[in-house]
Amino acid sequence: MTIKQALISVSDKTGVLEFAQGLAAQGVKLLSTGGTAKMLRDSGLTVTEIGDYTGFPEMLDGRVKTLHPKVHGGILARRDLPEHLATIEAHGIPTIDLVCVNLYPFAATIAKAGVTLEDAIENIDIGGPAMVRSSAKNYAGVAIVTDPEDYAPLLAELKANAGALQLATRFGLAKKAFTHTARYDSMIANWLTGLEEGAEAKPAEAAPVPAIFPARLQLAFDRVETLRYGENSHQSAAFYRETNPVAGSIAAYSQLQGKELSYNNIADSDAAWECVKSFDAPACVIVKHANPCGVAVDGKLLGAYEKAFQTDSTSAFGGIIAFNGEVGIDIVNAMNERKHFVEVLIAPSFTAEAKAALASKTNLRVLVVPISRVLNTLEFKRVGGGLLVQTPDDFTAQASGLKIVTKVQPTAQQIEDLLFAERVAKFVKSNAIVFCGNGMTLGVGAGQMSRVDSTKIASIKAQHAGLDLAGSVVASDAFFPFRDGVDVLAAAGAKAVIQPGGSMRDEEVIAAADEHGLAMVFTGARHFRH
């Protein structure tokens, strides 16, 4: 289909001049509106203003300009139906073959501090979505362009095909266009249904603040890839990315090498990455089945890796390793020396030497993820027929906020280790018990139905690894409901405990700690990770 006439009306003018110039060079007639028309005309292009084209001026402060039969007739007429073509010819309506439209900046408007309801409403586009949807519906005869990234490839195709665009191209543009308007409307719905009752009746200068959880939640994700299968081979799966993923999230990965990522690879990589990026000091996190099996900090990444591996070398085999700094050849050599097989290796960067050494491991998935500690605005968990939505767990205990509840006072070193242990426990499946010392995990007990059992498992893990728990510290993700958990960890050799507190039996638990000569501190916040 040859492009003879185009309508260009954009809010975001990025690249549109070059696009219009390219269309004009192909002999395409240009229609435009308002500021877009002025910009194109000032640049020397011949442009017909939409009001001159329709014979009806823009009105109502620009609210009505493209909502006209001469515009929509030229877009919607089916080129394969002679009666349609005869009708528009009888009314003097030429066809419009390409429509380039992006919408009023609603997202940018509501992102401004102090935005009023009036300003938000005025930045809801009407004519734009109407043209986009009309064009997309009639993709057989119209190319609809909503994304500036499409300008260059479209011009290239026009040049290569004597001014024509293929059906596949037009259909692809239509799909993108319907997605564009759907997400635009979803954004509006989320914002408006998040406003409190009576927001419309408040003074015009009032700046409404939408609730965190709108009454009608609309979500938008883009499929990155279809995966070989899900958690199990009889399940189908795909990975979707948010339209604007938070900086430094696992969704921002780039893969340097290795096999394609599996469902479990991505889930475990997320667990490892979220944990490792929470540390300021050089850190290494090894994850197996979504649980950290080794976490450590050190002056150098190599030291952190050596310490993390010690915690549970058995589970570390076939796991996910994440670093919060640049991986060098020293780490690769250390992994090779102990023949440490891993599924995924993650870091914000790798040295050239490290990349070269890793290249021979063709199956090893190597991911680069930029470091950023921004959290998702909302977290989701699917349940039957619904969705659980919550704000992220953004609490991390600080020394100044700890409440010492025992007779024995923790030492400065114990405080440092307790804070490290609490940070690790945040990323272990609940009923978490984590033994730590000297900036490393010594034993991790995850996800048992009984906290006592988690404590026993953590102790057993340490024994198997040949790590001494004498003098260690312990973190619990939630309070101890009974003293038995304290009895077990004390018997294992722990000397200090960090926990949220808040149990009806806190006094009993504190008394047990005093009885064993333990130091115990409360954080006031739990870290359930079901």
Instruction: State the residue for tokens 């850190």.
Output: 283
What integer is the mean pLDDT of 478-507? 93
* CA torsion angle 226 288 376 380 (round to 10): 70
Nearest to 370 by CA among 420, 416, 425, 324: 324
From the candidates 84, 176, 289, 300, give the one annotated as an active-site residue: 289
**In degrees rounded to 5, what are phi and psi of residue 173?**
-65, -35
pLDDT for res 62: 67
**Residues 324 and 450 placed together within one structural domain of the fold:** no
**Residues 50 and 183 placed together within one structural domain of the fold:** yes
Sign of the torsion formed by the C-alpha atoms of 31, 37, 39 and 43: positive
Structural domain of 293: 249-368
How many helices and strands, by DSSP H and E, does the chain display?
A: 19, 21
**Residues 11 and 88 placed together within one structural domain of the fold:** yes
**Residues 294 and 439 placed together within one structural domain of the fold:** no
pLDDT for res 405: 97
**Residues 88 and 142 placed together within one structural domain of the fold:** yes
CB 131 within 8 A of CB 50: no
Q: How many domains does the chain have?
A: 3
In a domain, 282, yes or no: yes
Instruction: State the residue for tokens 């986009």.
Output: 132
**Residues 413 and 362 placed together within one structural domain of the fold:** no
Distance CA 84, CA 94 (A): 12
Q: Buried b vs exposed e over 189-201: b needs ≥16 C-beta within 10 Å?
A: ebbbebbeeeeee
Which tens digit of pLDDT belongs to each residue from 47-73?
A: 998 888 888 777 776 677 777 888 888
pLDDT for res 46: 92
Distance CA 342, CA 340 (A): 6
pLDDT for res 447: 87
Give alpha helix (H) positions in 47-161: 50-54, 69-76, 82-90, 106-110, 117-122, 127-137, 151-160
Residue 103 has pLDDT above 90, yes or no: no
Distance CA 145, CA 4 (A): 15
From the candidates 4, 13, 84, 137, give the one annotated as an active-site residue: 137
Residue 121 has pLDDT above 80, yes or no: yes
Residue 216: pLDDT band by 50, 70, 90 thresholds? very high
- The answer for residues whose C-beta is within 8 angstroms of residue 410's C-beta and 6 or more apart is 404, 418, 496, 519, 521
Residue 12 has pLDDT above 80, yes or no: yes
Cα 269-348-333 angle, rounded to 5 deg: 85
Which tens digit of pLDDT belongs to each residue from 281-308?
A: 999 999 999 999 999 999 999 999 999 9
One-letter identity of residue 291: N
In a domain, 216, yes or no: no
Nearest to 176 by CA among 205, 137, 156, 147: 147
In a domain, 189, yes or no: yes
- Mark whether 289 is an active-site residue: yes
Helix (H, G, I), strand (E, B) or coil at 8: strand
**Residues 162 and 51 placed together within one structural domain of the fold:** yes
Which tens digit of pLDDT belongs to each residue from 245-275?
A: 998 999 999 999 999 999 999 999 999 999 9
**Residues 454 and 351 placed together within one structural domain of the fold:** no
CB 208 within 8 A of CB 195: yes
Q: What is the CATH number of the domain that holds 460?
A: 3.40.140.20
Distance CA 74, CA 135 (A): 10
Residue 387: pLDDT band by 50, 70, 90 thresholds? very high
One-letter identity of residue 97: D
Which tens digit of pLDDT belongs to each residue from 322-370?
A: 999 999 999 999 999 999 999 999 999 999 999 999 999 999 999 999 9
Q: Which two tokens stand for residue 401?
A: 């906020």
Distance CA 161, CA 138 (A): 21
Which tens digit of pLDDT belongs to each residue from 435-460?
A: 999 999 999 999 899 889 999 999 99
CB 71 within 8 A of CB 92: no
What integer is the mean pLDDT of 77-90? 87
pLDDT for res 460: 92
CB 71 within 8 A of CB 128: no
Q: What is the CATH number of the domain that holds 74?
A: 3.40.50.1380
In a domain, 527, yes or no: no
**Residues 422 and 361 placed together within one structural domain of the fold:** no
Distance CA 143, CA 236 (A): 34
In a domain, 475, yes or no: yes
**Residues 414 and 359 placed together within one structural domain of the fold:** no
pLDDT for res 113: 86
Domain end among 198, 229, 262:
198
- Mark whether 180 is an active-site residue: no
Which tens digit of pLDDT belongs to each residue from 228-245?
A: 999 999 999 999 999 889
Q: What is the mean pLDDT of the chain?
A: 93
Domain end among 318, 348, 368:
368
Domain end among 368, 383, 415:
368
In a domain, 379, yes or no: no
**Residues 503 and 457 placed together within one structural domain of the fold:** yes
Residue 160 has pLDDT above 90, yes or no: yes
pLDDT for res 56: 76
In a domain, 130, yes or no: yes
Nearest to 169 by CA among 160, 406, 26: 160
In a domain, 373, yes or no: no
Distance CA 247, CA 503 (A): 37
pLDDT for res 111: 87
What integer is the mean pLDDT of 158-180? 94
Distance CA 194, CA 196 (A): 7
Please give the share of the chain, as a percent, with pLDDT higher than 70. Answer: 100
**Residues 12 and 142 placed together within one structural domain of the fold:** yes
pLDDT for res 322: 98
